[in-house]
Amino acid sequence: MNSWLLLRRDWRGGELGILLLAATLAVTVVVGMSAFVASLQATLTDESKRFLAADRVVVSGVSVSTAWRDRALDDALATTVTLAFPSMAVTAEDDFHLVSVKAVESGYPLRGDLLISDAPYGPISQADRVPSPGEIWLAPRLYALLGVSNGDPLWIGDAKLTVAGVVRREPDATSGTYGYGPRVLMNLADIDATGVVQPGSRVSWRLLLSGSADSLDRFSQWVTPQLEQGQRLLGTDDDQPRLGRTLERAEGFLLIAGSLGVVLAAAAIALSARRFATRHIDPVAIMKSLGATRSRISRLYGGSLMLVGAFGSALGCVLGWLVGYFFLTLFAEELGVTSPTVSIEPFVIGGVTALVCLGFFAWPPLTRLSAIPPLRVLRSDISLDGGHSSMDYLMGGCAVILLMWWYSGDLRLTFAVVMGLLVVVLAGGGFALLLLSGGRRIGSAAGSVWRFSLAGLQRRRRSSALQMVIFAIAIMLMLLLIMIRGALVEQWQAQLPPGTPNHYVLNIAPEEQAELTAFFDRYQITRQPQFPMTRGRVVTVDDAALAEYGTESEGPRQREANLTYAQHLPEDNVVTDGEWWDAGSQHFEVSLEEEFAERLGATIGSRLGLRIGAEEIEVVVTSIRQVDWQSLKPNFFVILPPAVLAPFPKTYFTSFFLPETDKGRLNDLVKMFPTFTVIELDIIVTEIRQIINRVGQAIEVVLGVILLAGALVLIAGVRASIDARVSESALLRAMGARKQLILGAIALEFSVLGALAGTMAVAGAELAAWGLQTHVLDLSYQPTFWLWPLGVIVGVLLIASLGLWSCRHVVSTPPLVVLREL
Amino acid sequence: MIKVTNLFKAVPVGGETLEILRGISFEIKSGDSAAIVGVSGSGKSTLLGLLAGLDQASGGDVIIDGVSLAGLDEDSRAALRAEKVGFVFQSFQLLPALTALENVMLPLELAGANGAEQQATTFLNKVGLGERLAHYPATLSGGEQQRVAIARAFAAQPALLFADEPTGNLDGETAEKIIDLLFSLNASAGTTLILVTHDQRLAARCQRRFAMESGRLSEIS
Ligand SMILES: Nc1ncnc2c1ncn2[C@@H]1O[C@H](COP(=O)(O)OP(=O)(O)OP(=O)(O)O)[C@@H](O)[C@H]1O
Ligand SMILES: [Mg+2]
């Protein structure tokens, strides 16, 4: 006799099925979530790379040394060079416009996609080449601005180029001399012919690099000491990608979901193992009376459990991988993910989860099973020694907490969930015991159905309390995830409401302000207020001079920044330290953005030396602000009181929303105000919106998986007490009780359990949601009052109907058959 | 051969000690059959449990084929049971998840015997259930279940067979058949048969009869 045989036979009992399902689900959830999160993280990094169009970039004001490029090529890095500068584009009719030229070589971009079209605003396709020598590709607006069409000549400096296509988007669109005018793309080979790039002219060279992480690091280390003034290496520090917070929150959600999935699966495993053990007391006693030794039984059931674990893990790994893959395909297009990140880690985590869950929750009841005395065959009052089970659960609980921590890598996340669970377990369990023992008096005064069901609950007081706690945990985790999903989706919608500004205008001269407002009014364009803006540079902090950029030195560097002035704290900004000044302040004070201050090493009370134009002023830091970078609204690192900054020369800055159908208005604007710099963010906004929708979809699916896990726990929980109930009910029926009485009693019992569980669940869910939203996901928290009645009602309906369904055959089959099967 | 010397069993019940067996001694030769009768609660099942090594005595010893049970731990007693002991219970004690055939195969499989299925089939045929191999206990009548239990007990060809009220749950006619079956198998296998019963017909067919009275055993001639 071996475990395999035992397994096959036990399969008929049904408990193994739930055990296997629970183990499979645990592994599926864990593997799926972590595989997906791993790919998401990789995508996040890719995302930041995409805005560079490379993995690393050397930015330089002068042509990049060929030695650097050779060195990179030697180390198997892919390289390409771009050159960007502002210039006039001139047509055959002598129409001209300022444009942002970017000259590229074949191979560009190394990361991300170059999107083009044949006609302005025509269908977009992905470019598989760059402009050939002699060609020039234009931003769509330029066709109208310059009055050219494909095939027409266009001069950049002395070079005569042919208009050959439309550039719709480059991955590193915002780099270099971005913003001086609409983009044109040409081949680097034509640069000499333009005669524009002279020593000292304002150009931006970029050496783009991509390849293996090792080679990149070697190159970075090699090149960093050689960087001169005006040269920088990008891509080493994690530049916060635009989507950073969104994806981070999604990732957080997935990790929370995964952790909850683990808890739920552990609960399902614990419950089904417990039932499995109870139902195997007699078989084990018989086998022992037939001569099976204790270790034999242990080996048999241990082996059986291992088979279940192995099979469940394998199945879970496959399913989990499929789930992860499914999510990935949902995102592939938007995020430019080409292939899922294949790593062994998710599978390891999944395997360990199965091991821990089975080891801590399924194994203890099974080992105790082997201790059943064979005398049980003669004396049926001998039963499983349940004294150690609370210790088992405690240890198992600790193991699951550690697992959650390891899995999410987030202590606060784990803590928040555990606190919620503790409320449910301790308060809920105690409350349930109290109520169940107190109910006797109420019960005896009530009708017979009530008396029956309350008596039943009380007789099984301990197991009823345990059952209630398990129900509460399952409902709590399901509610929790629903709540967090709601909060996330709400936040994302608030982040990019309809009408989010998708164009920025800079360089608005004070005398043009009124005219611009009139323009906006005429076309009913929604816009933000206009902010004054003055270029300035932080040169000293507390009298210590800061190093200039590009020089070799430790510590903070000089920072160039756009300064603004404001009487009142801008909307969406939050003062985290110090105090915002009183309106009309005449003091030389300054308010800094949190991270900006940190990088400067400035705190409240620090004195900053600011160089504005030729002048220098000293201001004291009196407040530190947190800024919502996600809003896409204008934000400023440095704000001064109007009295201080207003006397300096300034331009204005604003942002506005232009729907895609009105994109042509931009040409009117640019024609009317040729000196404005317009930054077009519409593609990015659309893209972010798309990704958010996708993330939302992924979250729905995850929620579905978790709800399934929760349902499984509920089913396992209901089944856990079915045996006792079935035999009692059969006896009652044999003694002549009516169907309605029995069904009523069962429904009532489970309803009471469900109501208690629902209440506890809502309390635990609120607590955990508060912790998670405020401390992990960076979301605001509001108690969800509608959840309270809902939780209770759902608890009652769900548990009662599950209970009735599980007991249905008690009343639909003759009592004799039921009694016989026992 | 089974030899019992001065067997005691006492259990603590609510602070006091309840003496169930108070010095029991007897000896039964191989191949003999013995019946133990007595009122309910007199300690018959307790004695049977001790004889089969299912429980540990408080004093005295049981010696089966020269092996003293007092000197064995639980696992060694289990090994002894696997080799030498068969059981038939009042409540049949079949595994509900196993078919009749699998129930009979169980002790053979546990002993690691070859040809378990064939042997089990043979014995099920002997008890007249050759047609119901694949049936589950819940679909069998009480008498049929007890026949499966008897097939299971004899299939492992034990030296000793204990039966605790094997006919206690059966009607008179069925009980008669079960008794016939027990004795015919006993005769052909040469098993030592020790059974506890309230059934006078059953007791009458045994070679020796003992009466249990408040923990003491006396032979009835
Ligand atoms: N482990 C124990 N703990 C407490 N009491 C016990 C224990 N074992 C046996 N008894 C008691 O000892 C007495 C003898 O039990 P036993 O089962 O041997 O009786 P029996 O002769 O088989 O009775 P019946 O004919 O009803 O089966 C009973 O009163 C029983 O309750
Ligand atoms: Mg008895």
pLDDT digits (tens, 9 = 90+) for A744-777: 888 888 888 888 888 888 888 888 888 888 887 7
Ligand 2 centre to CA of A243 (Å) is 76
State the best of B18, B50, B56, B81 to mutate against chain A, taking most chain A CBs within 10 Å.
B81
Please report the pLDDT score of residue A154 as a whole number. 94
Quick check: A524 pLDDT over 70?
yes
What single-letter amino acid sits at A126? Q
Supply the Cα-derived Rg of chain B in whole angstroms.
17
Ligand 2 centre to CA of B52 (Å) is 14
Q: Give me the mean pLDDT over the B86-115 stretch.
A: 85
Distance CA A766, CA A747 (A): 28
Distance CA A695, CA A703 (A): 12
Please report the pLDDT score of residue B100 as a whole number. 92
Please report the pLDDT score of residue A337 as a whole number. 58
Please report the pLDDT score of residue A240 as a whole number. 46
Query: Which among B54, B94, B111 is the nearest to A289, CB-wise?
Result: B54
Q: Is A292 within 8 Å of B110 when comparing Cβ atoms? A: yes
Mean pLDDT of chain A: 81
Which ligand 1 atom is nearest residue B212's CA? 21
Which of the four pLDDT bands, split at 50, 70 and 90, describes residue A239? very low
- Residue A407 to chain B, least CA–CA distance (Å): 39
Quick check: B157 pLDDT over 90?
no
Test site for ligand 1: of B17, B18, B39, B40, most ligand atoms within 8 A of the Cβ: B18
Q: Give me the mean pLDDT over the B88-115 stretch.
A: 85
- Are the C-beta atoms of residues A340 and A326 closer than 8 Å to each other? no
Distance CA A599, CA A547 (A): 13
Distance CA B167, CA A137 (A): 100
More confident position, A83 or A673: A83
Query: Which among B80, B85, B110 is the nearest to A287, CB-wise?
Result: B110
Ligand 1 centre to CA of B21 (Å) is 10
Which of the four pLDDT bands, split at 50, 70 and 90, describes residue B19? very high
Q: Is A374 within 8 Å of B78 when comparing Cβ atoms? A: yes
Sheet of B192-196: strand order equals B85-89, B160-164, B192-196, B33-38, B208-213, B216-220
Residues whose CB is less than 8 angstroms from the CB of residue B160 and which lie 6 or more positions away in sequence, other chains included: B2, B52, B64, B84, B85, B86, B191, B192, B194
3-class SS letters over A735-757: CCCCHHHHHHHHHHHHHHHHHHH
Query: Which among B74, B82, B96 is the nearest to A290, CB-wise?
Result: B82
Tell me which chain A residues have a C-beta less than 8 angstroms from the C-beta of B111: 291
pLDDT digits (tens, 9 = 90+) for A99-121: 889 999 999 998 888 989 988 87
Quick check: B36 pLDDT over 90?
yes
Q: Is B97 within 8 Å of A9 when comparing Cβ atoms? A: yes
Distance CA A8, CA A17 (A): 11
Mean pLDDT of chain B: 89
Residue A35: burial class (beta carbons within 10 Å; 0-12, 13-18, 19+): buried
Q: For tokens 């979809």, name the residue.
A: A697
Quick check: A381 pLDDT over 80?
no
Ligand 1 centre to CA of B44 (Å) is 8
Work out the number of other CB atoms within 10 angstroms of the CB of residue A184.
24
Please report the pLDDT score of residue A519 as a whole number. 92
Instruction: Show the tokens assigned to A233.
Output: 């290496």
For ligand 1, atom 6, which residue shows the shortest CA distance? B11
Quick check: A338 pLDDT over 60?
no
Among candidate residues A291, A285, A819, A810, the one with its CA nearest the CA of residue B94 = A285
Weakest-pLDDT range from A568-582, A669-683, A793-807? A669-683
Which ligand 1 atom is nearest residue B196's CA? 22
What single-letter amino acid sits at A579? E
CB of B45 sitting under 6 A from ligand 1: yes
Ligand 2 centre to CA of B33 (Å) is 19
Which of the four pLDDT bands, split at 50, 70 and 90, describes residue A550? very low
pLDDT digits (tens, 9 = 90+) for A161-183: 999 999 988 887 765 544 567 88
Please report the pLDDT score of residue A105 as a whole number. 94
Which of the four pLDDT bands, split at 50, 70 and 90, describes residue A543? confident
Q: Tell whether B134 is within 8 A of chain A (Cβ).
A: no
CB of B41 sitting under 6 A from ligand 1: yes
pTM above 0.90, yes or no: no
Q: Is A291 within 8 Å of B109 when comparing Cβ atoms? A: no
pLDDT digits (tens, 9 = 90+) for A654-665: 889 888 788 778
Which of the four pLDDT bands, split at 50, 70 and 90, describes residue B143? confident
Q: Is B49 within 8 Å of A375 when comparing Cβ atoms? A: yes
Which of the four pLDDT bands, split at 50, 70 and 90, describes residue A553? low
Ligand nearest to the CA of B11: 1
Ligand 1 centre to CA of B20 (Å) is 7
Tell me which chain A residues have a C-beta less than 8 angstroms from the C-beta of B168: none
For ligand 1, atom 17, which residue shows the shortest CA distance? B45
Residues 20-79 of B with CB under 8 A from A: 45, 48-49, 52, 54-55, 74-75, 78-79
Quick check: A443 pLDDT over 50?
no
Q: Give me the mean pLDDT over the B135-145 stretch.
A: 88
Please report the pLDDT score of residue A138 as a whole number. 92
- Read out DSSP for A549-589? TTS--SS-B-EEEEEEE-SSPPTT-EEEEE-PPPTT--S-E
Which of the four pLDDT bands, split at 50, 70 and 90, describes residue A631? low
Q: Which residue of A has its CA nearest to B140?
A: A820
- Are the C-beta atoms of residues A209 and A216 closer than 8 Å to each other? yes
State the best of A290, A301, A813, A817 to mutate against chain B, taking most chain B CBs within 10 Å.
A290
Ligand nearest to the CA of B47: 1
Q: Which residue of A has its CA nearest to B56?
A: A375
Please report the pLDDT score of residue A162 as a whole number. 94
- Residue A744 to chain B, least CA–CA distance (Å): 28
Q: Give me the mean pLDDT over the A552-573 stretch.
A: 75
Distance CA A289, CA A292 (A): 7
pLDDT digits (tens, 9 = 90+) for B55-77: 889 999 999 999 999 888 888 88
Please report the pLDDT score of residue A79 as a whole number. 93
Percent of residues, chain A, with pLDDT higher than 90: 12
Cis omega (within 30 of 0) on the bond before A109? yes
More confident position, B55 or A258: B55
- Residue A378 to chain B, least CA–CA distance (Å): 7
State the best of A378, A726, A809, A819 to mutate against chain B, taking most chain B CBs within 10 Å.
A378
CB of B40 sitting under 6 A from ligand 1: yes
Per 3-state DSSP, what percentage of chain A is helix, strand, and coil (rounded to 5)?
55, 15, 25
- Residue B161 to chain A, least CA–CA distance (Å): 11
Please report the pLDDT score of residue B3 as a whole number. 94
Ligand 1 centre to CA of B43 (Å) is 5
More confident position, A284 or A248: A284
Please report the pLDDT score of residue B90 as a whole number. 84
Q: Give me the mean pLDDT over the A767-789 stretch.
A: 82
